[in-house]
Chain A
Amino acid sequence: MPDIDAWRAVAAATGPADRAAADTAVRQAYRLAGLAEPTRFVWADSPLSGVLALADLEAPGRSVREDIRTRPWAAERRRVHDELGPAGWTERWHATGAHLWDTTRMLTDRLRAGVVAAMLESPRYADADATVAEAEVRGLLLDAVLGQHEAPWLAAFDDRAGQLAGLAAVARATGWWWPFEHAVVLCERPSRLLRDEAGRLHAADGPAVLFPDGFALHAWHGMSVPTDFLTELPSLTPARIRDEENAELRRVLLEHYGYDRYLAESGAQPVHRDETGILWRIPMPDDEDVVMVEVVNSTPEPDGTHHTYWLRVPPGTETARAGVAWTFDLAAEDYAPMKQT
């Protein structure tokens, strides 16, 4: 059984690529695909620089992504599927790749969107039709092999030998790469990657993703935010939060400011209180009310205090019990834990 923790680490790896290992691994992937080894290796400091480098390649030949990634992957998937049967394959996927799939896909989607946005602002497309330019950049991105971000699929296979060995070794060594007949463009991994506990991109004090060349993504619990948005977070006031016109950004401001602090400073009153927790409501101009249950963790923190957390519940919630029960997909009358920690 493949080692899921090792692949989790590969998917989240930061810091300089192992360029020597990547070089060897790329050659192995070409040989396994029955192709002649490429003669030119071009390194880029981010997927954005990688896309820019593609345009400067002289006579790279055709893209060999099909031969290098798609075909061996499909063959390996068929082999494992035949070996385990449909139910066994589903089980294998749930135990391995499925754990990494959502978080990795969120990251690669955001990286692609970030590259597209940056390219559209670059001098190269200054006079271009935005739709045409976007289609062109997206096309280039589709030719990429995702290196470390192929981890979810690779995690489902036993890859030390066989058709995927080269692909897997590249994944362990570096980030995205573009294979062509004669040349390869390889990208460095991020130098910084910060996520919240749910695996969503998240950082309050700078970019959530940063590459060595400065290409960066800013995010708050997975939501894309403008670059300068984070710099004003330390000086927030309840008035500033109420005045934010973009409802999504206002939610981010509120979350950062702290529901508890906002509740205290805006004079909000608890709507309902019972043994499961406290229900709060904050009216929001031109947006649905924020309704939250305040829950206390039963297990004390190392310092003996109890961690309190707020969970947002649907705006129609009327009691604390109904709110907590909703978070577990239960009706209020059905929620009755006899022990909680």
Chain B
Amino acid sequence: MTTTLPRKKKRAEAPSGRTLVSPSQLRTRGGKTLYVIVFVCTFVAFTIAFLFPLYWAVTGAMKTPAELAATPATLVPREWHPESFAEAWDQMNLGKYFLNTVVVAGGAWLVQLAVDVPAAFALSKLRPKFGNVVLGLMLVTLMLPAAALLVPTYVTVTDLPLLHLNLINSPTAIWLPAAANAFNIYLLKRFFDQIPDELIEAARLDGAGPVRTLWRIILPISRPILAVVSILTIVAAWKDFIWPLLVFPDTGKQTLSVMLQRVAIDMPLNLLVAGMVLASIPMIALFLVFQRQIFAGLTAGSIKG
């Protein structure tokens, strides 16, 4: 896995390296045949297990409700009805829910960057007094299972301490708690730690203040980690279910996931499936474009790749 963090330059160049099966064994005729058999089996198994369900959903959406309910199910639709996607869009008012979800995920992303990047920079490069205490208190929150904080955070969001604001039905109920993300701060801090201090000193000698240094020097060279953090944040916000379910009782404000679950019983199955496919497209597109960042995020900060 190619993590994009600096200092980790020594990456395993395993793809061509020696693995469990010895290369000499693979070169024999029997070895070659066995390899082909294993390869084909794995290929077929992976395709059936992971891609076929998606094929089933996309084609299912284009079947008529009668065909969907018939047994045995058809592998290829007898009649194609691609217009069910448009119908689903209209009937479920998907445009509105897409917008809601984009606002929730986009806002969570911006607020997180705005809060976590300066914090990580301050902890890493300015190293204030008691900085380690602050970082430690933040990291402690990682040790709590998320579910354990569900109820008290909900209670807090309904009546913010001191301010006495009720954030229910407001996207801020998602944005603000999301920004309390110790994992992101930790990832960012670790990256900033590896930026040489000399660079910052040089900027300071040139008369740049800390904010300017952060903006003009640190952020441009931190693009890889910012990409990882951004993707992690957006994907998490798009996929989240239980928290949006709690904070958006107003059906018009809900995100796609919450809405789909709510209408699941009443919708004709073909339209529901069409809606599900449409709701997944942004994530799949994101995945295809940002694979590298997503795979890097998978191993960054967790386990040595």
Q: Do A and B bind each other?
A: no
A residues contacting B by CB (< 8 A) are none
